[in-house]
Chains A and B, each alone.
Chain A
Amino acid sequence: MKQTSDNCAIFSSEYSKKANKRQSSFIIAFFVVLWALLSFYEHSQLVRVDAQSLFLFDENFFYNMMKSPAGLLAYAGCFLMQFFYYPALGATIFVLLLVAQFFLVKKVFSIPKEYSLLALVPSVLLVATNTQLGYLIYYIKHPGWYYVALLGIITVLLAIWLYRKLSFPASLFFILLWVSVGFPLFGMFAWFAAICMGAISLSKIFEKDGRNSIMRGVLPITFALLLSIVVPILYYYQYTTVSIENIHLSALPVYHLSIGSKTFKSTIIPYWVPFAILFLYILFLSLYSNRIKAITEKKHTIYMLLLAIIQLGFLYEYWYKDANFRIENQQDLAMWQEDWQKVADYARDAELPSRQIVLNKNIALLCLGKAGSEMFAYPDGSSEIDAPMNVHLTHTGGLMTYYSYGRFNFCYRWCVENAVEHGWKVEYLKHSVRCMLLSGEYAVAERYINILKHTLFHKSWAEDYEKFLNKEELIKKNPEFKLPLQMYFYPDVLDVDESFVEVYLLKNIPSYLYSDTPPLYAEAALMSVLTRKDRKMFWNTLVAYLSGRKVSRLPIHYQEAVVLYSNLDRNVDASQIPIDEAVRMRFSSFMKRAKQFKGQKEEEIAHHFKEDFGDTYWYFYFFVRGIKSN
């Protein structure tokens, strides 16, 4: 190995070629695999990311963004996020920007080709800032959040690149200009870039000796630090949307969530780790990238291998992989597409489902007419949500649940409440359109249709729904609205849901059963009663269910419930209800089996029963316990 005079390592040409090839292959593979993962593995999540954002082609939308520091980043971020409507397209744009950022790191910090992996680190960290989020996508408040950090870092790199081209004292003026002009546009990325510029100058002290060099090294960093403190404070008096405590951190996402009772400080710290490492790393490169020490080829191989492993390991660790979150998003997408069979099928993939998965599956089965025969044949229960805060369905899929069950006012209420906290998003607008159309409030539906018509990709959806304005008959005829309209049967009362969608629905749906109850409503009431295991309400609800339809054979789960409840309530005569012989025999074998396991722990018994009886209401009744809805 040779060594140059400026301490930069130069390896034998053969090794250098090999190392470069290996690293280039790794980096190319990294970006290709990342694109594939985002496009396919994260497909439904990215669709949800688009649904959880909004970009309007309207000048007031732009001016509103610019009312806060880092407004330009937020605006550009929102613009780019809309392309996740087509996940592959969105992923392509995101990855291409990451690639650009990678080359900028290499260029700006003059990273030798043998050390290319060092330039990949920011890309990994930037990906992690997004892939770590999971349920936080419903709560994150910064508009354009998916791209803000990436665009911010690109801006920082471009600023450093320009800075490097300037000589002293023009560079000092550039720092002043950059922070002063950049802060309103890029927030903290403006002053962070200035500190990096100062760090670059500081690092030059160690290259050359002499008073001049020290002055040129110390002055920029001092100036940058001073400006980083002072300029945001001065800008504070120009903005009315941010407090002085938060002004310096403008452009960083807000993770301070105060929903529910959990204490977040400790649980939220890990979410800052990718950001912290990212900023420290860029600062590190600013200080030390010009002083990469000579090492042996062997050491270089090991270090680069280790670096590759650490990067992959870090990304793996910071990639939110919760299966239920994924299934919920897949179901949500299928629900918007009215592919009910797919919605139900996805529920089978859950080992222990979240309540949202169960609710979605039940809506799908209700639409498919399979609720009575299949609803207890799917995994059931209530998995705890893997998130640093209490996730309420009112913030996630509960809007779809409310809409499907005809609770238009409550769905709309939560759209508005959520919009207040997190800003209007495509998803809230679409739910609002449907709810207000179906409740006959056309003027407000038209308002939201009009807003969606200012988007790039949701415009056609809005135009499709525009045809329903003031057309009650057309709405009634549309099969898409059959379930929610049949569920829109209850009377108007004053009520609150306390943010618990499922609990509210389970309690309320069976409360309004009349002689003219629509068939789907009566069935939903029966499903609610069975889920609640409410023996008292079961018989009346069953009567309501039967009165609205001609039933030659009761669906299997309802038969199972009849057999079970008539067994438990001896004073009920259910002999007139036809029950399949197979159901009776299966129930008696269930009871016999139960006697065999008397005295054993419930979990063990459940395990023994699951294989033979896991698809019955009896299993749900006795072994699916302690359901905790969020």
Chain B
Amino acid sequence: MTYRFMKINITKYLFAVLLLCLAACTPSLPEKYETINELPSLYPDYIDVTIPCNIAPLTFEIKNDASEYVTRLSYANSEIILGGKEVQPSLKDWQELLSVAAGKEIKVEVFTCENESWKSYKPFSYFVSSDTIDQYISYRLIPPSYVCYEMLSINQRNLSNYDEDVIYNNMLAASEDKGQCINCHAYKNYRTDNMQFHMRQYKGGTLFVHNGEAVKLNMNTDSTLSAGVYPAFNPVYDVVAYSVNKTGQIFHTKHSNKVEVQDLYSDIILYNPVANVVTNVVNDTTDLEVFPWWSPDGRMLYYGSAHFEKIDSTKERMAEEVIRYREIKYDILRRSWNPETFEFGEADTVFAATKLGKSATFPRVSPDSRYLLFALGEYGCFHVWHNDADLYLQDLQTGDYWPLTESNSPHAESYHSWSSNSRWILFSSRRDDTNYTRLYIAHISPEGKPSKAFVLPQKSPNFYPLFDRSYNVPEFMVEPVKFTPHQFAEIACGDETKVKYSVNGM
């Protein structure tokens, strides 16, 4: 009996100690503190950002020196109180807070303690938009390299938490001595039953999923400049537009842009997966066409186009392009397309960047057909390497255009995509350290007003500074890719289907 009594007592004591420990570990707000009129220094900078109501918890590190930290996130009667330099709300608490704060502001207060004296920084807000964001995004993870490549993967991320999966990793089919480059993943209408990505060199081809069936395509034909490069699925009809490019890379000896990616020649082709044929849409030697994109009704094809004519007969075209690289500037054009006859209309200039002495590429029309989002820089088409490149929006109803000043940075912004509800944009930016592209998300109001962009949240706030990959070609999706990486690898290693050329594309 004595033994039993003692045992119970010990258990009770242990339980009490545990509770005390828990209580000691649970942070509480300081009772006394000095209020200072200064915002805390955070990494990543999530101060006063607009976030979707279904986003994963924003985690950040407080960069101000202190011995103790307490952070409170609150809306009305709901709050999360967290201790420590690294602020990492739990998924459950965060989702509960977002659910009550949708359409409102979450107040964020940071308290720090130094020499037993607490201070409270100026509070800031998360503006929680009731506009939801598509649940998935996909991107290629690639070192910010120039010519070499080794391990590359196309990944998908669930935006409402931190889950990330590999869609395809080139090492599943390649090896160190037989390299395979993978690129240009694209989807039809944000869904994954119709999607594609390219594999270059070893076991090269285009991995094309058509109505849920995956094949490996060889898109090279004698009548087209190259195999398909930059893709655009028609959101309504069963066709895919591609630019075809002869591309080269050359390096700045001094400039921080580091590298120029130039097209020696480029055209646009149309692929009809039902007939398995391609046809030329634009095929000339003096105009360079790139980055096609369809209007939401599927009847208008947008693309970037630059006019370049050789003037020096003593030089090869490439050599001349290298010397005159700053003269190559792109406008955004569009052509109507008749889905019955597969015929394209004449080119019509949508945004005449060259008249402004600029170069506009990567046209993306919002799914509500209202806005055209593009990247504008001084020259060239590959703005992801141009520090001066910024995102611009054009109202397709009025023709007015403006920079997304609140979302842009002094460094390269490019490779943007619209969410399916036209309220969010996702783009890559080199603003963090000028060399590694990170994904940023910004809200676009129905009036075309951008919000301050925020970096894709990660579980650890210190993820990006040590992560040695760039995020490339971000795309929204409303569902995950259903094939496993190993199924894709099996198809990549299998036989290819040769695409034929047809004059009318049918």
| A residues at B contact (CB < 8 Å) | 56, 58-61, 141, 236-237, 240-243, 245-246, 254, 256-258, 407-410, 412-413, 416-421, 424, 439, 441, 443-444, 446-447, 450-451, 454, 488, 490-496
Contacts and interface: CB of A to CB of B under 8 A. Distances in A.
A421 B148 contact: yes
Nearest to B169: A240
Q: Give the 3 A-B residue pairs with the shortest CB-CB distance, closest first.
A: A492-B254, A256-B177, A240-B169
Interface residues of B, number: 49
Interface SS of chain B: helix, strand, loop or mixed?
loop
Contact of A410 (B153, B251, B489): B251
A145 B24 CA distance: 45
Contacts of A494: 250-253, 260, 322, 325
A73 B273 CA distance: 47
B275 to A, nearest CB: 34
A413 B150 contact: no
A490 B260 CA distance: 19
Nearest to B321: A494
B147 A417 contact: yes
A4 B432 CA distance: 74
B144 A416 contact: yes
A492 B252 contact: yes
B469 to A, nearest CB: 10
Contacts of A407: 253
Contacts of B252: 409, 492-494
Contacts of B433: 443-444, 446-447
B131 to A, nearest CB: 32
Given A141-B176, A254-B176, A492-B255, A242 B435 contact: no
B467 to A, nearest CB: 7
Nearest to B177: A256
Given A240-B166, A441-B256, A444-B434, A61 B250 contact: no
Interface string B170-211: 011111111100000000000000000000000000000000
Contact of A240 (B150, B171, B253): B171
Contact of A420 (B150, B325, B434, B436): B150
Interface string B131-172: 000000000000111111111010000000000001011011
A242 B171 contact: yes
Contacts of A410: 251, 253
B262 to A, nearest CB: 9
A261 B254 CA distance: 31
Contacts of B256: 439, 441
Contacts of A424: 468
B254 A439 contact: yes
Interface stretch (B264-272, B443-451, B458-466): B458-466
Contacts of A409: 251-255, 258
6 contacts: A56-B466, A241-B171, A241-B172, A407-B253, A413-B258, A494-B250
A70 to B, nearest CB: 14
A243 B251 contact: no
A271 to B, nearest CB: 14
Which of B153, B460, B465 has the largest number of chain A CB atoms within 10 A? B465
A441 B411 CA distance: 12
B151 to A, nearest CB: 7
A529 B259 CA distance: 28
B143 A491 contact: no
Contacts of A242: 171-172
Contacts of A416: 143-146
A450 B486 contact: no
Given A256-B175, A256-B177, A257-B177, A241 B151 contact: yes
B304 interface: no
Given A60-B466, A243-B171, A254-B176, A413 B146 contact: yes
A61 B463 CA distance: 10
A490 B252 CA distance: 12
Contacts of B171: 240-243
A60 B463 contact: yes
A61 B468 CA distance: 10
B413 to A, nearest CB: 16
A320 B254 CA distance: 39
B460 A495 contact: no
B263 to A, nearest CB: 14
